[in-house]
Structure 1
């Protein structure tokens, strides 16, 4: 997973609309978004920032994703949130993992990533998750500005932490909710 390197700034709702770029909305993904999700992730896969997922995988995991959609229906960004119950003692809230966070190149630095992250945090809170984890090969600045901090992989859901490829040198970040 990689995060775009947005310009450091506090974004107001007005700032989310860049001059010359159409407005966008954030919504839950649908299985028919799979082709768009795969296309959106392709440049990040080529750069080594994201693991490759097939269109079929995106279709199966569509319910995990939030998408930023332009008025013409083009997907401008996406972010997956998976819920992990397996490491949670009975009666304790589950944890979540944010993954496949990508924003189209022409939209980076325009607030798309921030809006997606805000929506994912709201979704996690609505599901009463106790914490969110992510791994990034990028700077992680967007996450750090939104309450994430470096974390030990052993505190993350075990199956997810074990799936991290050490050759990618990703940093694990966490946010208590």
Structure 2
């Protein structure tokens, strides 16, 4: 368990995503599209600025929903962190850079991405997933995420959080 005071659900949500949405792992060639998809969210303050070079380096972290015309409708990064040698569990994951193109919001793209990330985390035997959000975290909460403490998350990630953004950390056991 992540904390003694936080109860984390492991049940899937009841929302059914549209059948026409398929998720695939991002490829190195998707870096420019990942960067472009993220720009509106950076401008609004919802995401931190990340240089193109990070999208190029970390493209393999991302799951994407591709539109029929080849553009990306959404993306979600999932970074795996090894188990803490002094901790009591296995590896954990961090979800980051969750974006759905403005013209696709409210159409199930985020649901499909989050479900795919949860399935990927389970397939990789991660013990928990963490994320940070400056928003309400409504979709995460519907999928069993609950408020958590940054100190329980992977240290490398927790130490990278910008305290000025006032993000809330959410976690979910897998």
Q: What interval of TM-score do these two structures reach, taking the shorter chain for normalisation? A: 0.7 to 0.9
Structure 2's unaligned 5+ residue stretches are: 1-12
Deviation string, structure 1 residues 17-67 (Cα, Å, up to 9, x no partner): 7xxxxx442100000000100000000011111111222211110110000
Query: Which residue is 1:11 aligned to?
Result: 15
| Aligned residue pairs, count | 162
**Alignment partner of 1:36 out of 33, 48, 53:** 33
The CA distance in 1 between the partners of 2:116 and 2:85, in whole Å, is 24
Which ranges in structure 1 are unaligned for 5 or more consecutive residues? 1-8, 18-22
1:12-27 matched pairs, under 5 angstroms: 12-13=16-17, 16=18, 23-27=20-24
> What is the aligned counterpart of 1:70 among 67, 71, 77?
67
Secondary structure at the aligned position of 2:79 is classed as strand
CA RMSD of aligned residues (A): 1.8
DSSP 3-state at the match of 2:136: coil
Any residues of structure 2 matched to 1:109-124 within 5 Å, and which? 109-124=106-121
TM-score of the aligned structures, taking structure 1 as reference length? 0.86
Which whole-Å CA distance do the structure 2 matches of 1:73 and 1:10 have between them? 29
TM-score by length of 2: 0.87
Residue-by-residue CA offset, 1:115-150 (whole Å, 9 max, x unaligned): 000000000111100000000001100000001000
Q: 1:139 aligns with which of 136, 140, 145?
A: 136
